[in-house]
Each structure stands twice: as structure tokens, then as C-alpha cells.
Chains A and B, each alone.
Chain A
């Protein structure tokens, strides 16, 4: 949206009919830009949701034998096959129906059978109560993001399979272009930053609760929020949209600096063929 338009918009009474026309047009351009940002947010949230649903579905292969009947060898074999089939899973542990860890197979360490009692840990108790449990995002070393996904079987006697998952979204969060310097980022259910092109902000577990757009999105529940004016974490004026990431209660935001609305319009124009 260029200066001349803005001047026309706020122009004198003599130019009123023209101003009204330009006003409508700019409103339309803005609505279209908002819709484009919304599609980017929904695309990213859909992708992350699908990733998680697929992980859950793959872990489901390992929760189909009851304790104690199922042989240890079959379980160890299933764990190895799961690691082979799903590169994002780095470790799988089997908890029996009493919450005791019976088998653990890991890409990173020697297999250990700790016999530890996990019955009071959320990964056992929550999975037993709600079928599936997603832990908070955590970090190993300086750069590796993980989450814990725990899945119960059809009945208590099937126990719980607990996977440590290294998600794949960091690269596309960093790669997604929003105008020239806009961003795509994600917060967890506590409004803690869990994905952002500036990984330092993520690693410091930046709390985003103070941003008006984050509060508004939280109030929207599972619905997407339409484009709104807001200030981003760096204090810039931005257009902000968001979409929820079921079933995790996370949210994806896409934000475009207001100063770059023109960039989106002109890049759309140059990529259009006649």
C-alpha cells in the first residue's frame, strides 16, 4: 500500500468519491493479504498436527500386546522396527500395566531395562487416563528439540509405550518466508515460545503471554484468529494471524510487518503470468 493511496484515503472532501473507491480497494487488498497470511498459518499448523498424529499412529503398532503374556523378544523386536520405520523417534520404552519400565530401546544409548516405577509420572498416569499424553517440549544439548509422546493400549493390561520424539518442524519454521522480514513462530499451551527462526529466543523459553495477539488467540480456543494489527516481540507494527495445532493446544502465528504489506502485493504481482 503506497503513500499516495494513504494520502488519497485521508484526502480532502473534494476528492471524496475517489477516496471512497480507493478506501474500498485498500480494504480489499488488506483482506486478501490477511487471508494469505492465514493460509500460511493453517498450512503450518496442519503439517505439525499431521506429524504428531502420524507419530501416535506409528507408536500404536507397539501397544497391541497385553502384559505379561507378550514376550520380551517380540517387544524388543517391535521397538527396533519402530525406530527403523520412523526416523523422528529416537527412543521407545515399554511400561507394563503397573507402570514399571520393562524394555527400553534407544538410538542414542545402550538398551537399559531400568525396572523403574513410573506409575506416578504423567507419561504413565495421563496416558492411562486419556489414552495419549504429550509432554512439554524439552531440549537435549544446545540444539535438539524433543517431546515425549506416551500411548496406552486398548485396555490397562496393554501398558503404555513411551517415545522420545525429535520433531522436524524447525527447518520449515526457519525457511517459511513472510514478506521480507516477517516471521512464523509457535507457542505451547503456556504461551512459551517453542519454534521461531531465531532459535536463541526458543532456547531461552521466551514467554509470549504479554503480546495482545497471543492473549486473543488463547481466548479463541481451537479457532483460527483472523488478521489483526499488533506489536511483535521486537516492538514492530505487524499484521498477525494464528491457527491452533490440535491435539497439542499449541498455536502457530504468522506476522508481517505493516511496512511490508506492499512487498507481499508486489511479489504476488511479479509471480502472476498474463
Chain B
């Protein structure tokens, strides 16, 4: 194939997706390339979400550097305000001392500080962070549709205590909203128990004439996907790479399925496209 051919071919290949949707049955090349693209999408989304969470851990890390002493309270308060200013996704930060007692809490929503002195020493955000340095709590919703995550981070020494941040996951939701491929493709994230955290079916586009990006209906949330063959195969692969495979989705449709693990919280991103759509014949 010479240069001129390539130029001609490329000039006529405009938007790739419609072409991709016409992957010819019987020629494995297009299907293989399409699978590679699904895999790259899953890898990219997993890396982006991992990077987002890593950065938050790194920023919260500032607040877990100091030991707890009476004279560090002002420094702590200044750190909390700086964290909220620097990281828009963090809406609240609480500091537990080395015994698990809450010493300070600063919230974006109620800009005042509270020292509840609650004993959280048996709470998982304290025990898990102390044991493993970082703990990612379950996803929860505020005002029915705003997703959040609790992130707890221990300092290097026990007396530094634990910083507990409430993190808005809007960015992750936006990413899944944009990630679905083709006309009936889906994208979703499962937690380490194979339950749905977010699924592209949760999103409804805004009605015409209405502002905003989308409506979220958390109805899919927490649905158990552990029976799906592609989920079991991914789980078995652990941190290793998985192959794109043909499988049944939760509605029984035959799909091409690609997935990638997210470092940290043990989540996994799936990107799926109905085979029927991948194999629509060339007209």
C-alpha cells in the first residue's frame, strides 16, 4: 500500500464510529480492531478514575502529616480550609486523633468547625485506615442523586491519626455518561463485591429545552452482577489483563465486553457493545 492510497483512504474515512458499526461479519479484522478499541476505552476510563482518586489521596495526605498535640489545632484548621479550597471534590474533612476521637470537622456546606469528640475507634473508617493506610468506603447518595464516597487516610505514625474526607464523585459519573459506545452500548463500574456503583442506564438525557447534563436514577445501584460470565472471568484475572470476550449482558443480549480494574478501591470498569450492532452488515 503506497502513500497515495493511504491518503485517499484516510480522506474518505471521516467519523470512525459509523464505519465501526458496520464491522463485516466473516472478516475478523474489523471485529478484532473494534474489540481493541473497547479495551482501550475501558483501560482509559479505569486509569482516569484511578488518577482522580490518587490525586485526592495525595491532597488529603497533607492533613495526615502532623502528630496530634494541643498546639497544632490552628495548623489543622488552616490545613482543612486549604484542602477544601484546593480540591473542589472534597466537601468535608474530619480529623480523628490516634485514639479514634473526632477532634475537628470542617464542611463546605456548613462552614463551621465542630469538635464532636465522638469515639470512632470501632468505626471502619478508623480501623481500616489504621490497618491499611487508605480506606475507600461504599458509595452513597445525597439528595437522592448526588454520588459520594468516604475516603479515610492514616498518617505515617499512629499519633498522626486519621483524616476522613467526603468526596463528590460527579467526575466519575460524567465519565461513565460519556463512555458508552455505539447506539445501545453500555458502560458501568462494579465494586469489589460485583455490585453496581454506576451504570450508563442510570442516566437520562436532559429533556429538550432543559438545562443541565443528565438526570440520574439510582435504581440500578447495588444490583448484583456476579452471575455474569464476563464478571467472573474478570474477577478470576485479579489485577492481570483480561481479554475482550463475547458474553451475555444483564438483559440477556449478546455483547462484546471489555473491562479494566481501578487501583485503590478495587472497582472495575466494563464497556459493552451488542454484537448485533458490531456486526451490522456493510450495505
**Central interface residue in B36, B51, B87, B244, by most chain A CB within 10 Å:** B36
User: Which chain B residue shows the least CB distance to A269?
Assistant: B32
B53 CB–A CB distance under 8 Å:
no
Q: Which listed residue, A21, A27, A58, touches B9 by the CB 8 Å rule?
A: A27
Tell me which residues across on chain A come within 8 A of B28, comparing CB atoms.
269, 272
* Cα separation A147 to B198 with both chains bound (whole Å): 38
A28 in contact with B19 given A39-B40, A229-B10, A273-B244 (CB within 8 Å): yes
0/1 per residue, A38-74, Cβ < 8 Å to B? 0110110011001000100110110010000000000
B7 CB–A CB distance under 8 Å:
yes
A16 CB–B CB distance under 8 Å:
no
Question: How near does chain B come to A137, taking the closest CB pair, in angstroms?
Answer: 22
Question: How near does chain A come to B41, taking the closest CB pair, in angstroms?
Answer: 7
B35 CB–A CB distance under 8 Å:
yes
**Central interface residue in B29, B41, B62, B246, by most chain A CB within 10 Å:** B29
Tell me which residues across on chain A come within 8 A of B51, comparing CB atoms.
47, 50
Contact B6 A33 (CB under 8 A): no
Q: Which listed residue, B30, B40, B65, B86, touches A28 by the CB 8 Å rule?
A: B30
0/1 per residue, B20-43, Cβ < 8 Å to A? 101110011111111111011101
Contact A272 B58 (CB under 8 A): no
Tell me which residues across on chain B come within 8 A of A227, comparing CB atoms.
10
B117 CB–A CB distance under 8 Å:
no
A26 CB–B CB distance under 8 Å:
yes
A226 CB–B CB distance under 8 Å:
yes
Tell me which residues across on chain B come within 8 A of A26, comparing CB atoms.
9
A24 in contact with B36 given A29-B30, A47-B47, A239-B6 (CB within 8 Å): no
A-B contact count (CB 8 A): 141
* Cα separation A264 to B39 with both chains bound (whole Å): 14
Contact B86 A86 (CB under 8 A): no
Q: Which listed residue, A21, A36, A261, touches B40 by the CB 8 Å rule?
A: A36
* Cα separation A64 to B79 with both chains bound (whole Å): 10
B13 CB–A CB distance under 8 Å:
yes
Contact B65 A84 (CB under 8 A): yes
Chain A, interface SS category: helix
Contact B41 A39 (CB under 8 A): yes
Tell me which residues across on chain A come within 8 A of B7, comparing CB atoms.
228-229
Question: How near does chain B come to A17, taking the closest CB pair, in angstroms?
Answer: 13
* Cα separation A39 to B33 with both chains bound (whole Å): 13
A30 CB–B CB distance under 8 Å:
yes
B3 CB–A CB distance under 8 Å:
yes
* Cα separation A25 to B246 with both chains bound (whole Å): 22
Tell me which residues across on chain A come within 8 A of B39, comparing CB atoms.
271
Contact A229 B3 (CB under 8 A): yes
Tell me which residues across on chain B come within 8 A of A46, comparing CB atoms.
44, 48
Q: List 17 A-B contacts (CB under 8 A).
A: A26-B9, A30-B13, A32-B19, A40-B40, A46-B48, A60-B82, A84-B65, A86-B58, A226-B10, A228-B7, A258-B3, A261-B1, A265-B29, A265-B32, A269-B28, A269-B29, A273-B246
**Nearest 8 A-B pairs (CB), nearest first?**
A31-B13, A32-B33, A273-B243, A268-B32, A269-B32, A268-B36, A229-B6, A35-B16
Residues of chain A at the chain B interface (Cβ within 8 Å): 1, 6, 9, 21, 24-36, 39-40, 42-43, 46-47, 50, 54, 57-58, 60-61, 64, 81, 84-86, 226-229, 237, 239, 258, 261, 264-265, 268-269, 271-274
- 18 A-B pairs besides A25-B27, A29-B29, A274-B246 with CB distance below 8 A are A21-B282, A24-B282, A31-B19, A34-B13, A36-B37, A39-B37, A40-B40, A47-B51, A54-B58, A57-B87, A58-B59, A239-B6, A239-B10, A261-B1, A265-B32, A268-B29, A271-B36, A271-B243
Residues of chain B at the chain A interface (Cβ within 8 Å): 1, 3, 5-7, 9-10, 12-13, 16, 19-20, 22-24, 27-37, 39-41, 43-44, 47-48, 51, 55, 58-59, 61-62, 65, 82, 85-87, 243-246, 282
